[in-house]
Structure 1
Amino acid sequence: MTTLAALLPQTALAAPKEAWEAPTLTITRYDEDWSDLADAEKRSHHWTGPFKYIPLGDDAWLSTGIELRARSENFDDNLWGDADAPDDGYLWLRALPYADLHVRRFRAFVQPIAATSRGVAPSPGPVDETGVDLLQGFAEADFGPVTLRAGRQMLSLGTERLIGTRYGPNVPLAFDGVRANVAVGAAKVSLFAVRPVQPGKGSFDDRTSSQKALWGGYAAMPELDLYYLGYRNDSARWSGREGGETRHSLGARWHAVRGDWHWNVEGVYQFGHFAKGSGGGVISAWTVGTEVGHAFPDLPLSPDVTLRANMVSGDRDPGDGRLGTFNALFPKGKYFGELSPVGPYNIMNLHPTVGLQLAPTVSASVAAAAYWRQSRRDGIYDIPGNLIRAPGDSRARFIGKEVEATVAWQATAELELSASISAFAPGAFIRATGAARTIHMLGLESNFRF
């Protein structure tokens, strides 16, 4: 479970700290640096050492690894009873091996995927299974302050509010295109022009999207990120309207840790055109997300209390020639938690969370959330941006409330076992627009990575 994994130390090699400290395992895997294992003595600290650094001669070496994940999700009354199979229960299985070849200034990274599912009703979709395919595969040249990369890769920018890996579902999201990473003083600037990969359910049938494109730049500085994202979708749909969409996003993120306090504040403004010349008009949308937390390391269980608040714009008038619904583009998969029936579109929410350290290798969290519509004239959407409840004649804002508890055990340096239980009770808007039962979800996961 991605939410829990972030709370735990991810150390692949259990070497004494004074001898060597392993890099943090990441979701994308290509930004892990194992070059220190050129020292054969360091490779001997753990059984994974010989796999993380394989010498191939002068200035050449290979790093390898794998993720094996099994995840079970069981729903009662999914989408408040409106889903095609509201009482669904299924199993996701995936394997993500990788090989990372370094030869002087050049690099080749390859990561296949084998992903399948059992029990998805009424039938599995492209995020449930993809057979055997190429998840990532790119070539890279390192010229010191500038690194150039071309090929297929996952992208993770900031807290993945707009560009994420979709790691929670069974099939992550990748992009085809080019990327340049530039170091400018303390800033790291990423420039890119890519297209998302559309996974097929069979083997070797993933394809580059011909309808969607993404380009822009992301500058990450100490405590401050600034970015521009350009996006085009030739077949966009927003609350009954269809057409081409070109959207530009300007964003800023302020994040820091001061003693026991930590915070993350992000704002984005979007502008552009929707279905220009065919009944559409200009785009003007926005979002503000805040997260403020305080750790209490001296209290029992070392609680960390965090309050998140989000406001995401919706469309104020479907007939005025303007589109005000914010587009989250390619956000992370489990956006508001393990159970996330609503996505970051036309929404306001409050989300307090308490994280607990039950033991050195066991963490837990308890969260509550409440959701409202930002605009009464717009509906609610799922995480990919599909409309799941039209506004109809309802003037109600309140969507519903949710509670969730999670626990994770880092059984070994490579194996994490985790579980979550969630419930989402419908509010006045859900009751006014269709089925209105409380959603229950149980999630169980085993994840082995090195």
Structure 2
Amino acid sequence: MSEMNQQKLKLENKIRHQHKKFTRLTFFVMSLFYFHSSYAETNVQDQTACPQRPSILTNRWQENWDVLKNSCVVKKTGDQFKYIPFKENSYISLGANIRERFELNNSAKFGTAKNSNDQYLIQRLQMHVDARLAEQWQIFAQFIDARAYDKNTVGSTDQNRFDLEQAFIAWQHSLNNGTFKFRVGRQEMAFDLQRFISNREGPNVRQAFDGVWADYEYQDWRFLGYMTRPVQIDMAGTLNDFSDHDLRFSGFRIDKQNVLGGELSGYYSRYVRNHATFPSVSGNEVRDLYDLRHMGSKNNLDWDVEAMLQYGDIADQSIQAWALSAITAYHLKDQPYSPKLAVQIDAASGDKNPHDGKLNTFNQLFANGSYFTLAGYSGYSNLIHIKPSITIQPNDQLTLMAALGLQWRQTTQDAIYFQGNSSMPNTAGQGSKWTGKYLQLRADQKVNSNLSMAVEAVHYDVGKTILNAGGKDANYLGVEMKYGW
């Protein structure tokens, strides 16, 4: 048998293996759906004055299951583990998540990565214990087991074998007509639309921080501060994720409601990363971050605008960088399917001159890896991005979205960037500003309060700069099922 036929047979066997695995996954998740749909419900009566069951949230520690102490709340099988009272105003709640996603990507990093043509299954299992003590104390622990099956290149955002994702103690207390909150331990942080500070929900492994968080809320005001060391993923074993002095992130933030029809917020943070590397310089990086954001709505229009400045030093160079993002949407609520027309504009600075003693490349920090698309082709550095989109809702459970993305570099002197501040070789100082365009299609289906499904397809048509650097057009398909208990 020729070498070409052997490779073809190997690929066909791999695809059949993935198909069998995905079929088993579908059967498993549908079994969960059937089991949940067959839950016995009791105490069905007038619910007008009765508290609602909590929704399954992305941040599970924010759920409050003490509503189950009310006899009027509809009960489901398994609720004896969602609310375990052990003394007055105290209870323990158990929970779990499973997310399975099949991904096909024929050109990871536009084909410049090794074995870039890939199809694989990523799986994320999470289990947590939430203890509430006397309405003031909370002890929360969450474990994660994230796996990537048959993926050619596995990174720290793909796989994290059984490890501690979160473990913190929180306390809150009334203070001067406001509320003071405090958390210490391993925890997740996410600001606003998670452009720059996120819990990294899109990829398989989420981002956590070891540190302290303090928060005071008074009327329309909110003041908070944080001192953290971001958690680094060690894929080699179990229960071995760590944080150290090589990466630190701390700061404070102020929010004010009811400003120009919405919320105005601003924060200052210091970001420190030792052994940082950019195309023009390497060394210990220190950045001071200044962020300002306003979000609001009026009639059928809503908006979210955010800007960040970064100043600091790396090696013998100074840092001066910036980013700007805006999303504006108009809702046609009185039309069939309630269409929403939106325009997203993003811009982030690149290094204007690699020899002038200044680094202008914007640091993506802890950005949401799926902020542009789930495919994650582009990073938030040296970028100009315009994305018109339309979203419709045929019913309350189904959402459909189509978008067209157009991308340029902010400067041709700097490289094209991927996720995680990594740059594409042979693009700095080469070619034109035009990077390429992409088409994104996405469907989200909520099956019930616990189970949801999503499908996303992306086709990226690259420009000549990427073609000349050895890249090529890219296609992505993601099929996801997510269950939370």
**CA separation in 1, counterparts of 2:429 and 2:361?**
18
**CA separation in 1, counterparts of 2:265 and 2:77?**
38
Partner of 2:234: 200
- 1:324-335 to 2 correspondences below 5 Å: 324-335=360-371
Partner of 2:325: 289
Q: Which of 212, 219, 222 is matched with 1:178 structurally?
A: 212
Q: Which has the higher contact order (CA 8 A, sep 6+)?
A: 1
- 1:351-430 to 2 correspondences below 5 Å: 351-430=387-466
Partner of 1:136: 166
Matched, 1:157 2:191: yes
Contact 1:308 1:352 in 2 (8 A): yes
Q: Which of 52, 77, 80 is matched with 1:21 structurally?
A: 52
SS in 2 for 1:65: strand
Q: Which has the higher helix share?
A: 2
Contact 1:229 1:248 in 2 (8 A): yes
What letter matches 1:211 in structure 2? D
**CA separation in 2, counterparts of 1:393 and 1:384?**
21
Distance 1:132 1:100, change over 3 A: same
Partner of 2:245: 210
Partner of 2:276: 236
CA shift digits 1:119-164 (9 cap, x unpaired): 1104x22222111110000011222221121100111111111110
**CA separation in 2, counterparts of 1:229 and 1:355?**
35
Partner of 1:190: 224
Q: Which of 335, 354, 371 is matched with 1:318 structurally?
A: 354
**CA separation in 2, counterparts of 1:340 and 1:369?**
13
Q: Which of 146, 149, 155 is matched with 1:125 structurally?
A: 155
CA shift digits 1:58-114 (9 cap, x unpaired): 121112221111011101122222111111111111111111101122210000111
CA shift digits 1:237-265 (9 cap, x unpaired): 11141101110111111101212111001
**CA separation in 1, counterparts of 2:425 and 2:264?**
36
Distance 1:219 1:37, change over 3 A: farther
Shift, 1:27, TM fit:
1.7
**CA separation in 1, counterparts of 2:391 and 2:428?**
39
Contact 1:239 1:390 in 2 (8 A): no
Contact 2:431 2:464 in 1 (8 A): no
**CA separation in 2, counterparts of 1:343 and 1:335?**
9
TM-score in terms of structure 1 length: 0.92
Shift, 1:31, TM fit:
2.0
Shift, 1:49, TM fit:
4.2
Partner of 1:93: 123
Partner of 1:9: none
CA shift digits 1:159-194 (9 cap, x unpaired): 111110111111111110111111133122221000
For structure 1, the residue ranges without an aligned partner over 5 or more in a row are: 1-11
**CA separation in 2, counterparts of 1:419 and 1:272?**
41
Shift, 1:220, TM fit:
2.7
**CA separation in 1, counterparts of 2:424 and 2:190?**
26
SS in 1 for 2:60: coil
- Report the RMSD for the aligned CA atoms in angstroms: 1.9
What letter matches 1:438 in structure 2? D
Contact 2:110 2:377 in 1 (8 A): no
Matched, 1:265 2:305: yes
**CA separation in 1, counterparts of 2:109 and 2:363?**
21
What letter matches 1:146 in structure 2? F
Partner of 1:7: none
Contact 2:167 2:186 in 1 (8 A): yes
SS in 1 for 2:421: coil
Matched, 1:56 2:91: no
For structure 2, the residue ranges without an aligned partner over 5 or more in a row are: 1-36, 258-262
**CA separation in 2, counterparts of 1:406 and 1:273?**
41
Contact 2:291 2:307 in 1 (8 A): yes
CA shift digits 1:407-431 (9 cap, x unpaired): 1211121111111111001013212
What letter matches 2:300 in structure 1? D
Contact 1:397 1:428 in 2 (8 A): no
**CA separation in 2, counterparts of 1:160 and 1:368?**
21
Distance 1:392 1:232, change over 3 A: closer
Partner of 2:285: 245
Distance 1:255 1:422, change over 3 A: same
Distance 1:56 1:126, change over 3 A: same
Shift, 1:352, TM fit:
0.9
Matched, 1:445 2:480: yes
Contact 2:109 2:418 in 1 (8 A): no
SS in 1 for 2:72: helix
**CA separation in 1, counterparts of 2:271 and 2:189?**
15
SS in 2 for 1:208: coil
Contact 2:308 2:324 in 1 (8 A): yes
Which stretch shifts more, 26-35 or 174-183? 26-35
**CA separation in 2, counterparts of 1:95 and 1:161?**
25
SS in 2 for 1:79: helix
What letter matches 1:248 in structure 2? D
Aligned-pair identity (%): 26
CA shift digits 1:297-333 (9 cap, x unpaired): 2212211111000111111001101111111211112
Larger radius of gyration: 2
SS in 2 for 1:41: coil
**CA separation in 1, counterparts of 2:54 and 2:319?**
42
